[in-house]
Amino acid sequence: MTTPPEQLRVTDPRRLRLTAWCVGPPLCVFLISMVLINFTSSLDGTIAGAVSWAYVVAVAQFVIAIVAGHVYISRVEVLERGDGTDRGEERMV
C-alpha cells in the first residue's frame, strides 16, 4: 500500500537526506569530470587504440547515475510505504 499524495511530505528530513546523498555525489563526479575533460589534458592519454581515459570516465558517469537512480527508487519506496524500516525489510508484528 502506498501513501496517498496528500500525506506525502516532500520536506520530510529523511527524504531530503536521501535526495542529497543520491544526487550530490553523482553531480560532483559529473562536474569534476567535465572540468577534467574540457579544461585539462589529464584524461587525454589513450588506453587502447582510440579509447582515451575520457571515454572511461564518461561510461563511469552512466554507471554512477544508474546506480544512484536505483538506490533512490528503492529507498524512496520504503519511505513512501511508511513502514519505518530503513532497509526495506518487512516489519515484524
The total number of structural domains that make up the chain: 1
Q: Taking the chain, what is the end-to-end CA distance rounded to the nearest angstrom?
A: 17
In a domain, 88, yes or no: no
Asked whether the beta carbons of 15 and 79 are under 8 A apart, the reply is yes
Residue pLDDT, tens place only, 24-79:
999 999 999 989 888 988 888 888 888 888 889 989 999 999 999 999 999 888 88
C-alpha cell at 77: 519506496
In a domain, 52, yes or no: yes
Residue-range definition of the domain harbouring residue 64 = 13-81
Q: Is the pLDDT of residue 14 over 60?
A: yes
DSSP-based three-state secondary structure for 18: helix
The DSSP output letter for 46 is E
In a domain, 89, yes or no: no
In a domain, 5, yes or no: no
In a domain, 17, yes or no: yes
Phi, psi of 37, rounded to the nearest 5 degrees: -75, -45
Report the pLDDT value the prediction gives residue 91, as an integer from 0 to 100.
Answer: 46
Q: Is the pLDDT of residue 90 over 70?
A: no
In a domain, 86, yes or no: no
In a domain, 93, yes or no: no
In a domain, 47, yes or no: yes
